[in-house]
Amino acid sequence: MHIKKFFLSMLITCGIGVIISAYLLYIHYFPLIPDAALYSLCTAGSTFDCNAVNTSAYAMLFGMPLAAWGMAFYLFFIAVILIYTIKTKHVILEFGMLWLAIFAVLLSVVLGYISFVKIQKFCSFCMALWLCNVALLTLVLIYIALLYKGLIRGINTIHDFTVATLFADSKLRGTIVVLVIAAVVSLLVAWGIDGTLQLAYNQKQKQREAIILQEFKKEYTMFERVAIPVDGTIPVIGKKEYPVHITVFFDFNCGACHRAIAVLSELAKKYEGKVAVYLRHFPLDATCNRFIQHKKDGASCMASGIAYALYGSNEYHDYIMQLMSYRGKVDEIAINRVVSDLHKDYADLKKLSNTDTIKKLLQDDIALGGKLGIHATPTIIINNTMLKPGIPPAYILEMAIKIEMKQ
């Protein structure tokens, strides 16, 4: 009876894991809104944000959300427990439960590090899963200690087998087949639920996009029209002769700018021969930008200065694109690394960036941004139409390109 309670506790722990994983999988596709149930549990203060963690780049593994993998893990662990209690209490299943639980705890440590260091946000439900993993390992260790009258003896015993002896036992071969089937079924269930939610998300997204596109078509003619010169300016993507000119005022340390450049690069490829992309430097740092109130560390100003030191060379485009795809803060170390990759001398470029000629090029961009009333990045101008600051969805930018191509 005492042993049965251990297995019941394991099953309950895994069941909780399945439920939490399913909920996290749901909010991966449908992030919580302020009036949603359990929203307050996910956004307790500035440190906790389930939406930020669960929709980050780290929340995917091999094309499937981590929450779906978690669901498959707990379902498989339930299967292992049931096979062990109903079919056969073999040492290989004890070995499997122990190492599955150890793996889950180690993974929890890794994910905790990513949350704390990389994302700098925590997910309360993710932390609940980490506790489930610790509880699962604790229960397995206690069970092994009780079963073999000592933890060390138990661990040594369940590791005392060879692959040859496993496959020599016909009954055990059948158990291994059942385990493989259980693993496949667990993955298929998680994959099926993930696919269903993804399909529902795509359908909802299409409906939302259709409504937004209709509204955008009406609004586009009412957006501010500005004069944006391109004469004497080299496009970073495309050629001057192309009919659609997209100008982006950006900052090297603006995450949204990185995404905007990536999206515009893809659209420029799709509409090759039609779209040229121009970049205007507008560091959000009073160190070099008189239209910004607060001084920062000058890193964005330095990055733009080095860019203009390369302006007109073949390396200008590569420098921009490498820094805009850099993950992390664009500081002097990052700039130096990219310059070295381009086989350029950083000290020479830094010296050149401090000359009056290069400073004027940067200040011309900043002056133009100030004249246009720009205060945030990215600000995108398509031909003479200035969009609202920020990065619109790709389908909105594509619609704007199509509108401009018809004019």
pLDDT digits over 27-59, tens only?
888 876 655 556 666 666 667 887 788 888 888
Give CATH for domain 244-406.
Answer: 3.40.30.10
How many angstroms from the chain centroid is the CA of residue 83?
Answer: 37
In the sheet where 385-386 sits, what is the strand order? 275-281, 244-250, 379-382, 385-386
For 123-134, the pLDDT digits (tens) are 888 999 999 999
For 299-344, the pLDDT digits (tens) are 999 999 999 999 988 899 899 999 988 878 889 999 999 999 999 9
pLDDT at 100: 95
Taking CA atoms, 40 is separated from 46, 52, 296, 367, in Å, by 12, 14, 33, 44
pLDDT at 280: 93
Provide mean pLDDT across the span 155-179.
78
| DSSP-assigned states of every residue in 138-204 | HHHHHHHHHHTTSHHHHHHHHT---HHHHHH-HHHHHHHHHHHHHHHHHHHHHHHHHHHHHHHHHHH
Confidence class of residue 214 from pLDDT cuts 50, 70 and 90?
confident
d(CA 193, CA 68): 8
Percent of the chain with pLDDT over 70: 94
Between 1.20.1440.130, 1.10.357.140, 1.10.10.10, 1.10.600.10, what CATH number should domain 2-201 receive?
A: 1.20.1440.130
CB 265 within 8 A of CB 272: no
Tell whether pTM > 0.85.
no
Confidence class of residue 1 from pLDDT cuts 50, 70 and 90?
very low
Percent of the chain with pLDDT over 90: 50
pLDDT at 217: 80
Confidence class of residue 99 from pLDDT cuts 50, 70 and 90?
very high
Residue 138 reports pLDDT greater than 50: yes
Query: How is the chain split into domains, by residue range?
Result: 2-201, 244-406
Better-predicted residue by pLDDT, 218 or 58: 58
Better-predicted residue by pLDDT, 135 or 44: 135
pLDDT at 33: 61
pLDDT at 32: 65
For 354-401, the pLDDT digits (tens) are 999 999 999 999 999 999 999 999 999 999 899 988 888 888 888 888
pLDDT at 211: 85
Confidence class of residue 216 from pLDDT cuts 50, 70 and 90?
confident
d(CA 378, CA 36): 31
User: 312: how many CB neighbours lie within 10 A of its CB?
Assistant: 9
d(CA 295, CA 273): 40
Residue 105 reports pLDDT greater than 80: yes
* Average pLDDT of the residues of the chain: 88
Residue appearing with tokens 């100030």: 370
For 3-19, the pLDDT digits (tens) are 778 889 999 999 999 99
pLDDT at 392: 84
